[in-house]
Structures are given as C-alpha cells and as structure tokens.
Amino acid sequence: MIRRTNKLLSTVIISVYKDDVALGLILKSLLMQSVTNFEVIVSEDGESDEIKHCADRFKSKDILLLHLRQEDKGFRKNIALNRAIKASNTEHLIFIDGDCVPHPSFVEAHQACTRRGIICTGRRLELGEGISDNLRTEKIDLSYLTNRLQYLLHCYALLKDNAKNIESGIYSKALQNLTEGREIRVLGCNFSSNKQDLIKINGFNEDYLAPGIGEDSDIDWRLLKSGVKIRNVKFSAIQYHLYHPRAYSTSTENMALFEETKQSNDYTCRHGLEHITN
C-alpha cells in the first residue's frame, strides 16, 4: 500500500453525481499513482448514500480524502467545485469528472508543468459500452489500458467496441514532447490550475445551472482573458472515460450566458468563490 506523504503538493478534485462504481474505480486508480503527495476531495453535487459509503471505504485505505456534499436541487456542479476549491489545502488543483479514470502517471503529469499563470489540460479516451462494463464489473482491470504494449494490442477491440479518440489513450513522453506546443482548450474533466489563478477570476460561474460550457468553455475563456496560458498535456495526463448515454445537450440559457460573458469582456464572474462559506 502506498503511504501518503506529509508534504502535500496537489489537490485532486473529483466532481461526482450518483455513480459510486465509477468513483470506486477512480479512487482505486488514485491509490496506484506514481506520486503520493496529494489529497483528494470528492465534490458531490448531491447527497447519495452510495457515494458516501464509497468515499468512507477509501478513507480507510490510506488516502487523504474529504467528501463534500450538498443538497440535490438540480445541476449545481459549479457551486460544488467552488466549495472544493475553498476546502483545498494546496495551491495546485487538479480537476477530474466522476466518470473519468486517470492513468497511474496522471497526477505526476499535471504536477510537472502547472504553475502560477500556466494551466494544463489533457484529453480522454472515450471507452465503448462493453469495455466500460468490463471495468465496472472487474472482468478486466485498469492494466488492460494503462500497460502501453497491452493497449496497442487492444486497439482493435477498443475500436470494435466503438471507443473514440483512441490516440488519447496512448501514454508517450515522445508524443508529449512533440505536441505540447500545439494549441488546446480546457477540458473540464482533465485540467489543473494554480489556486490563485482561479481566485483571480472568482472561480467557477455559479449562474450556470445546466451541464455544458460552464465547467470548461467559460472557465477557459475567463482564464485566458486574465492572462493565463494553457499547456497541452494530452499524451501524459491520460484519462479513460467510462461509457454512459449522454443525457443532455447544451442549454440555450448556457449559450446566452456565455455570450453575455464574452460581450462584457470581464473575466470575473458575479457569483463564484466569493459566495462560498463552506
């Protein structure tokens, strides 16, 4: 069992809603990370007993974990994220969605490049239904994907299972070095930031009350507007997205709010971190 170090460098913030099996896979992968100098905040937009039981189970497995909950009153992910930022004990914050399982070098990859004024963002391999189910039911384990040789051998099976973005599942320092200068935009499920850069823009905009745009496009635009630069870590900060039917399309309200934000030319939001008291 990996022992947590006393000196924390990073906080991994996991946004979750109801899917305790996926959370279990994520927490298991965090126990396998190549570094141990991080804490974990499970940021739940709800109050699921199953999520609580899962978080409690991993608290006893030598992982420094805080579980934050809030009343389930519709989509309030950005409020949950701001609460997690406030509760974090480090200046380096790494954001994961509750359906994205990280590669064992994921935390180390983000730690290697994020600093004040620089945010890092990667991408994710979108798994098909069959392999996702096999992971969830433990018919296969994460080494099916994280071992590079096995991954290349399994590419045909992944394609046959309707996986998307196959190249995003390749962990490669050579490819990382070749592509890190290419332009990339923030993906809300796979990015890291210095806490002070998020404080400067007042965190996530809590006026977004539906999924889409508010957790990535909006935060991307406002961070860039504030002077922050984005670094591409596509081939070092790897994630595996578990299949589930997409339950939403971007709301017209979100689109209108984002357009209003850009028209205002203001990178701070009215309702954000300053409202959080935890």
> How would DSSP label each residue in 23-63?
HHHHHHHHTT-S---EEEEEEESS--HHHHHHHHHHHTTT-
Predicted confidence (pLDDT) per residue in 138-182, tens digit: 999 999 999 989 999 999 999 999 999 999 999 999 999 999 889
Query: String of b and e for 47-57 (b: at least 16 CB within 10 Å)?
Result: ebeebeebbee
What residues have CB less than 8 Å from 266, skipping those under 6 apart? none
Average pLDDT, the chain: 94
**What is each CA distance from 76 to 48, 56, 274, 278, in whole angstroms?**
15, 23, 16, 14
Beta carbons within 10 angstroms of residue 87's beta carbon:
16
Give 6's pLDDT tier (boundaries 50, 70, 90).
Answer: low
Give 122's pLDDT tier (boundaries 50, 70, 90).
Answer: very high
Across residues 59-79, what is the average pLDDT?
92
Predicted confidence (pLDDT) per residue in 14-49, tens digit: 999 999 999 999 999 999 999 999 999 999 999 999
Give 63's pLDDT tier (boundaries 50, 70, 90).
Answer: confident
Q: Does residue 3 surpass a pLDDT of 60?
A: no
Its pTM stands at 0.95
Among residues 239, 10, 259, the alpha carbon closest in space to that of 125 is found at: 239
Q: What is the pLDDT of residue 1?
A: 33
**DSSP, res 3:** P
Q: Which CATH number fits domain 10-270: 3.30.2090.10, 1.20.1290.10, 3.40.190.10, 3.90.550.10?
A: 3.90.550.10
Q: Does residue 256 surpass a pLDDT of 80?
A: yes
Query: What residue spans define the domains of the chain?
Result: 10-270
What residues have CB less than 8 Å from 199, skipping those under 6 apart? 273
Percentage, residues of the chain above pLDDT 70 = 96
At 86 the three-state DSSP class reads helix
One-character DSSP codes across 202-248? TSS-TT--SSSSTTTHHHHHHHHHTT-EEEE-TTTSEEEEPP-----
What residues have CB less than 8 Å from 244, skipping those under 6 apart? 19, 99, 132
